[in-house]
A and B are shown apart, each in its own frame.
Chain A
Amino acid sequence: GAVVSQHPSWVICKSGTSVKIECRSLDFQATTMFWYRQFPKQSLMLMATSNEGSKATYEQGVEKDKFLINHASLTLSTLTVTSAHPEDSSFYICSVRGLAEFYNEQFFGPGTRLTVL
């Protein structure tokens, strides 16, 4: 399997500020990471696919200039929510695709809860 961490686990910020969320693959090199968002009592929605060394692929309706994704190394992807507003308050979750016999599985991080005041 894979162990995925996220930092921070929760963050509170003022409206208009930017927030960076880190996603780390702790025990293997991940060429592909995924970012999801989950609003209270709703299901997960895929925001973007993050590929190491290249631009992220965003899902329809997700603003790439607002949600900046950087996958600069094989173990780290970051999501920056720029000029955050209260409607961006959500649970942000990353995942990595496994390797070898785990290639069909995605391993998820514990999530980051963002609250924008």
Chain B
Amino acid sequence: DAKTTQPNSMESNEEEPVHLPCNHSTISGTDYIHWYRQLPSQGPEYVIHGLTSNVNNRMASLAIAEDRKSSTLILHRATLRDAAVYYCILAERYGNKLVFGAGTILRVKS
């Protein structure tokens, strides 16, 4: 499984944008980039995924580098409810096997 590298933790102020980076230099051509987040004592929650082009949905935006070796999850206006562990995961198209790394702990300050 291709690996991802994320910062251990990040901090943001409430209502400001947050950019969560992920490096995946060994990504293969068929790997999709998935982001999930996990709030304390809960199961993970799907955030967004993409292949080559930048993606937007109601939760976040995903910016993918042209060489696909890195990506950035963008939360446009962080709220206290966005405090969670964010996981960047590479998986084949139909995401059968999700291999979770350590993720990034996002802390949001009011």
Contacts and interface: CB of A to CB of B under 8 A. Distances in A.
Nearest to A98: B46
Interface string B1-45: 000000000000000000000000000000010101010011111
B65 interface: no
A110 B42 contact: yes
Interface residues of A, number: 24
Contacts, number: 55
A109 B43 CA distance: 6
Contacts of B44: 44, 93, 95, 106, 108
Interface of A: 4, 32, 34, 36, 43-46, 49, 91, 93-95, 97, 103-111, 113
Given A106-B36, A106-B44, 19 more contacts: A4-B43, A32-B96, A43-B102, A44-B38, A44-B44, A46-B97, A46-B99, A46-B100, A91-B41, A95-B43, A104-B32, A104-B49, A106-B46, A107-B46, A108-B43, A108-B44, A109-B43, A111-B42, A111-B43
